[in-house]
Structure 1
């Protein structure tokens, strides 16, 4: 071995020996002067305290801090002067290990290089007046220049270790409470010219992380574990935490932040991010008031979340929260139902309007580019807002285009059923949220339905190739450009409901829909469903009151419709009318018909009436006026009004009449037998009785030489009292070209016809030359008069016979001739 190497090794050995001997000497010095050293440490530390620091015992730990000297302090307690009032001990450490600079200790000073604390409690307490037990530490004046000698290292802690430490920050004035059960914290510190750097590993349980104890704790009962890289800028007095991965429970987060120590109340900003976290896991990390709201929702697959939390450790109130999330192709469960294929960017903030405070009242949830499918109906919402989590209000613009058949499961089977067609919606809405279900939204926008086939279930009506445009403006609903087709009937409609939204949610039975209706042709037989009683309105199983289905059904069933019709042609069986106008009011099982006017059979009809629906039978009241209609066509159109022996083939002329009639009509649109009651008056001009068999039967033997096949008359007035299947004929004078007659009695639609006819044998043909009407009336019944009775009492068919009881009156019905012989 070269001589110079031997020399170096000898010198090195001598130095190491000297150091070891010095270290042993110092250790022996501490052992032999334990109380003195303990007193020196206690005195040194108490110099900077406004309170008391007590140390139970001191023991050196050989080589624990080599080449420095380590001492282990037992039962270290720090209390401020107000401890007897609040009883919060700032530090109570069972084990407090300190590594000190050995050379400085020989000089009579204490320089601490490393601290290890275990089995301890740290309690930083602030009372409601703002007093804190951290006042135990005196504030030292800042030196003009940083010391440059080696002894400056005595103020630097290069390493520290905490294990099994309960750490608490309890600020009663600001309602803040932070409690950590520290399993282990290890840190290495460096001191560049700008301040210091810390590399730290953390493992701690969060018992409370409450920025506002009234709201509750963030990160409740979560284990935090991970590394931190922290720097402190002495000039700016800012602590910066570099972004790093920290496990919070089972979820890894990237966390960074800043702490501004220049402010009286230390301000902070924390940035938290996780690219893959379940919704419920993220919601459970927040304060209970926010968790409660978010837990009403769920997103099945993991989402990307970021959160910016800003606040201070002093003062009151919540921290500022700004949370974002990204959701793509997921499933969202809400109180109102499940939404599939969901994608959106979401933002939550509790500082919606600057200056209005931080909290639920000033909170907002924003959803951007929200796409989803609800009950197979796709929709988009460009931007949706939910403001004020205490009394939440939702706003947004809802868009959707879909096959309208998909609406059937939503509206239920009670009202409408769609078999084809498309719907296009664009609605701006504003709605209260009750338990985060949309309630009573205000709408603005339009719903357009095209090429739709619709069944109106309560009336068993079917419409095809329909187009409807619904426009919401204010509280009103406008229905425009509506085309509906039912069979061969085509209807064009414009409608309006004033105050629709308010009534729809609060009193749907008060809805009044006003229609302006035009049709080139209507076949009334295709609308006989309106004569049906409404379908059973018993709610389907599981249907709750107040939901979309029940409200819609109530609106359809209880609401009223006022219709103003203009129809070019109206068909009903054999009936045809033109230029028809009418006002109809459809209510709860009743139809009121007003101001009906139409042209028919060369004349016109006017009518008012009411139809009341009651099961399979509908009752009606009718007031009608007929003006100059062709009698034959009129009787043919109405199927001879049920008459069997007196038909459209028997009567000609132009009829004017008035009638007030009540009766029944079944769901097929036919008269209920024996239901008619009322009065009718007629005037027949330029009439003729053609091939009327009862008259012809009399004529065979009474007027064999007269033409009774075509009996003409210029004017005929009559009055009829209708009672079921009986029509009472008031005394009526008939003056014709062939014969004159007086008629009175009862015509029956079934059995009971009993009509008395007084017919003079003289031929009235010559009376046409008599100009004076009075003179003509005197001659009318001169000569031989035949008293004839038309009756069906014996055979059921009308027979003509002599009226042997002519002149005898029935006491109960004086206008009716008795048939008793």
Structure 2
């Protein structure tokens, strides 16, 4: 070995031995003078504190950490001067281990190789006045000390925390952060720009409340993973990133920035989760948000991207900007489910600039929302919900689907068997108890080529088309085509103030219809009569489940249809009702839940015309009607045929010819099949018959066999007949009138019973009317009318319903 090498090794060995001796000596000195060193250390530290630090004991170790120097402080506590008032200890550590690099120490640099803190509590407390226990640290002098240029700088290599509770309790800013650190390991480097660190942690987040009034984010969730952190001296920012971080067992990517170089200090978190269950996501936010999120759910995981930013001072909510990407999921909403749901969603709690962050200033935006609701496929191009305190929803709704899909939504109201439905609506609605309430629409609904059954009225319409236009709160009904059996109806309608009345006062809804029909068969609409009982049941159910002001647009439909009124202005080329046929019919109809009213009815029938006003009030099995009508010169045979001879048995359409004019004011009952209820008709009738012929009228034939055996009893001409009748309780009161005919002249009065009770007096001059046919003077003809023998007859019910005709004993034979 060369001499210079031997000499060098001896010098190095000597230096190492010297260092070891110094460190050993230092260790021995500290160990043998613990109390003195501890006293000096605490006194020195307390000189720079507005409070007090206590260290229970101090120990050194050289050989366990050789060649570094280890120092262990036990039972360390740090309290500010006002601790007696607030009782928040800034630092309370059972064990505080520090390992210092010996080589760096000899160079004049404090290089901390490792710090281990075990069983500690860090409590940063600020009271409501703004006083903080961190004021224990005296502010450093702003004057620069030139002598300090040569002083050593401290560097930290590694540190670890075990079983450490870390709390930031800011009463003034209403913030509370509390973490239970099971394990935290970090390795640090100190480049010229600041420092960098790689960390591994396992932490329980007891509280992360940026506003204690709203509660904590990620409460009681375990945080774990690896992070990379760095501090830039120029910007004063701490940046943290992680690609394998977990919160509550779910994987997240995290990018965070803490701007500690500025006042007030601020933070920014950018958190991503490609696969996160909705129920797990709702557990990560504050209770005021999770309460709302828990009303909803998604079966499959969704992609979430969240930005959270705020200040470490002040009591407001942090800024939140959260986006979600949903694809073909199953979304559960209050009261229903949306299948195959996809959308891109954004939540932002700073909707209006200049206002504080929070629920009242929040907005949820939905873009390209598609799904299936109650078997109806739909799309919402853009939708939003603003103000989570008093939420308002708005959006553009589109749907195009088979009309039969509406059966799932409108069960009990309508049934669709074919056709297509298309909707394009802009809606705006309040949200009450997390449900859409009283939506207001603008746009249109089109239905084409559909067969529809209106369930409450048991009415069926074929090949139906309609267009509903919502504009300025009104409903315009266009291009409506209804076909029921052989009836074809073309309709235009309008409802003013529709959407307001629909929810708040459906009984005030009035539909104004303009109706045209080439042919109308009224019998095909008898379902209107037959369904009062079922409609009542629907109404009762509606009242039980849907009050009159229900905010649900679908459930309110049965209520509105049952209570709404309709006015119809009808023009029909042909109107059929059983045997009745009319042409050029016009009428004004007013429908309500109780029945209908007809005004200004005008039509042509049987060669004449008819004008009428009428009303129908519905009952359960029978329906009450009133009719005021004027009939002008109709063919009496056709007229009687059309109305089944008005229930008369002896006088029918087969017994009559001539032209009838009449005025009638009658009321009665029809059953749910549209037929007259026997004996229900009441009212008065005035009849004028011209050029009449009485054919095979059996009561007269029975009399004539004995009284006029040589006259034509089967075909009796009646040039003119005027009569007035009153109908009541199956009885027809015949006011006195004269019959002037080719067979006989007669004066008739009395009561005709439709079933029994007939009592009619008939005064018949036996003089042959044919002998007076040549007399043109009416007065002269009237004088000779009763010349000769006059037979007084009485047609009376025998008590069994059979009418017997005999001499009227109350009058003498002339």
TM-score, with structure 1 as normaliser? 0.92
| Cross-structure match for 2:499 | 501
| Cross-structure match for 1:403 | 402
| Cross-structure match for 1:119 | 119
Shift in Å, 1:630: 1.3
Aligned partners of 1:542, 1:8: CA distance in 2, in Å? 104
| Cross-structure match for 2:454 | 456
The match for 2:592 among 587, 593, 604 is 587
Shift in Å, 1:768: 4.3
* Contact 1:661–1:676 (Cα < 8 Å) also in 2: yes
| Cross-structure match for 2:415 | 417
1:799-818 paired onto structure 2 within 5 Å: 801-806=806-811
Shift in Å, 1:176: 0.6
Shift in Å, 1:486: 0.9
Q: Rate the CA distance shift 1:807–1:417 in 2: closer, same or farther, 3 A.
A: farther
1:646-795 paired onto structure 2 within 5 Å: 646-700=651-705, 702-703=707-708, 706-790=711-795, 793=798
| Cross-structure match for 2:541 | 539
Q: Give the number of aligned pairs.
A: 806
| Cross-structure match for 2:295 | 296
| Cross-structure match for 1:819 | none
Report the more deviating stretch, 15-24 or 597-606. Answer: 15-24
| Cross-structure match for 1:814 | none
Q: Rate the CA distance shift 1:64–1:354 in 2: closer, same or farther, 3 A.
A: farther
* Contact 1:76–1:94 (Cα < 8 Å) also in 2: yes
| Cross-structure match for 2:68 | 68
Deviation track 1:174-207 (CA, whole Å, cap 9, x = no partner) reads 0011111111222222221111112222221111
Q: Rate the CA distance shift 1:164–1:702 in 2: closer, same or farther, 3 A.
A: closer
CA RMSD of aligned residues (A): 2.9
Aligned partners of 1:216, 1:727: CA distance in 2, in Å? 85
Report the more deviating stretch, 209-218 or 444-453. Answer: 444-453
Aligned partners of 2:597, 2:434: CA distance in 1, in Å? 43
Q: Rate the CA distance shift 1:173–1:807 in 2: closer, same or farther, 3 A.
A: farther
Deviation track 1:518-555 (CA, whole Å, cap 9, x = no partner) reads 11111111111222233133429995654556522222
Give the gaps of 5 or more residues in structure 2. Answer: none
Shift in Å, 1:577: 0.5
1:476-491 paired onto structure 2 within 5 Å: 476-491=474-489
Q: Rate the CA distance shift 1:184–1:694 in 2: closer, same or farther, 3 A.
A: closer
Q: Rate the CA distance shift 1:469–1:147 in 2: closer, same or farther, 3 A.
A: farther
Report the more deviating stretch, 202-211 or 497-506. Answer: 497-506
Deviation track 1:359-384 (CA, whole Å, cap 9, x = no partner) reads 11001111111111112111111111
1:551-700 paired onto structure 2 within 5 Å: 551-700=556-705
Shift in Å, 1:318: 0.9
Aligned partners of 1:225, 1:236: CA distance in 2, in Å? 28
| Cross-structure match for 1:429 | 427
Asked if 1:526 corresponds to 2:524, the answer is: yes
| Cross-structure match for 1:359 | 358
Q: Rate the CA distance shift 1:407–1:106 in 2: closer, same or farther, 3 A.
A: closer
* Contact 2:757–2:799 (Cα < 8 Å) also in 1: no
* Contact 1:206–1:219 (Cα < 8 Å) also in 2: yes
Deviation track 1:298-336 (CA, whole Å, cap 9, x = no partner) reads 111111111101001112211111111111111111112
* Contact 2:111–2:157 (Cα < 8 Å) also in 1: no
* Contact 1:104–1:151 (Cα < 8 Å) also in 2: no
Aligned partners of 1:594, 1:59: CA distance in 2, in Å? 110
Shift in Å, 1:99: 2.9
Q: Rate the CA distance shift 1:29–1:698 in 2: closer, same or farther, 3 A.
A: closer
Report the more deviating stretch, 718-727 or 301-310. Answer: 718-727
* Contact 2:756–2:800 (Cα < 8 Å) also in 1: no
| Cross-structure match for 1:817 | none
Aligned partners of 1:99, 1:712: CA distance in 2, in Å? 138
Q: Secondary structure at the match of 2:437?
A: strand
Aligned partners of 1:455, 1:633: CA distance in 2, in Å? 35
Give the gaps of 5 or more residues in structure 1. Answer: 809-821
Aligned partners of 2:222, 2:254: CA distance in 1, in Å? 15
Q: Rate the CA distance shift 1:144–1:572 in 2: closer, same or farther, 3 A.
A: same
Q: Secondary structure at the match of 1:84?
A: helix
Report the more deviating stretch, 321-330 or 744-753. Answer: 744-753
| Cross-structure match for 1:811 | none
Asked if 1:516 corresponds to 2:505, the answer is: no
Q: Secondary structure at the match of 2:218?
A: coil
Q: Rate the CA distance shift 1:14–1:599 in 2: closer, same or farther, 3 A.
A: same
Shift in Å, 1:404: 2.4
Report the more deviating stretch, 306-315 or 701-710. Answer: 701-710
Aligned partners of 1:500, 1:625: CA distance in 2, in Å? 37
* Contact 2:173–2:314 (Cα < 8 Å) also in 1: yes
Q: Secondary structure at the match of 1:440?
A: strand
Aligned partners of 2:681, 2:374: CA distance in 1, in Å? 52
Aligned partners of 2:274, 2:791: CA distance in 1, in Å? 112
| Cross-structure match for 1:444 | 442
Aligned partners of 1:284, 1:563: CA distance in 2, in Å? 57
Report the more deviating stretch, 280-289 or 673-682. Answer: 673-682
* Contact 1:23–1:67 (Cα < 8 Å) also in 2: no
Q: Rate the CA distance shift 1:147–1:703 in 2: closer, same or farther, 3 A.
A: farther
Deviation track 1:220-268 (CA, whole Å, cap 9, x = no partner) reads 1111112221111111111111343221121121111111123222111
Q: Rate the CA distance shift 1:138–1:769 in 2: closer, same or farther, 3 A.
A: same
Q: Rate the CA distance shift 1:601–1:297 in 2: closer, same or farther, 3 A.
A: same
Asked if 1:132 corresponds to 2:137, the answer is: no
* Contact 1:26–1:102 (Cα < 8 Å) also in 2: no
Aligned partners of 1:686, 1:476: CA distance in 2, in Å? 56
Deviation track 1:105-156 (CA, whole Å, cap 9, x = no partner) reads 7899977554322221111111222222222223335787999988533x22
Aligned partners of 1:234, 1:308: CA distance in 2, in Å? 25
Q: Rate the CA distance shift 1:71–1:346 in 2: closer, same or farther, 3 A.
A: same
TM-score, with structure 2 as normaliser? 0.93
Shift in Å, 1:706: 4.4
Aligned partners of 1:433, 1:310: CA distance in 2, in Å? 28
* Contact 1:620–1:662 (Cα < 8 Å) also in 2: yes
Q: Secondary structure at the match of 1:483?
A: strand
* Contact 2:658–2:690 (Cα < 8 Å) also in 1: yes
Q: Rate the CA distance shift 1:544–1:503 in 2: closer, same or farther, 3 A.
A: closer
Deviation track 1:335-368 (CA, whole Å, cap 9, x = no partner) reads 1211111111111111111111111100111111
Report the more deviating stretch, 789-798 or 114-123. Answer: 789-798
Aligned partners of 1:543, 1:794: CA distance in 2, in Å? 56
Q: Rate the CA distance shift 1:238–1:144 in 2: closer, same or farther, 3 A.
A: farther
Shift in Å, 1:721: 1.8
Q: Rate the CA distance shift 1:803–1:108 in 2: closer, same or farther, 3 A.
A: closer
Q: Secondary structure at the match of 1:420?
A: coil
Aligned partners of 2:594, 2:736: CA distance in 1, in Å? 40
Q: Rate the CA distance shift 1:147–1:572 in 2: closer, same or farther, 3 A.
A: farther
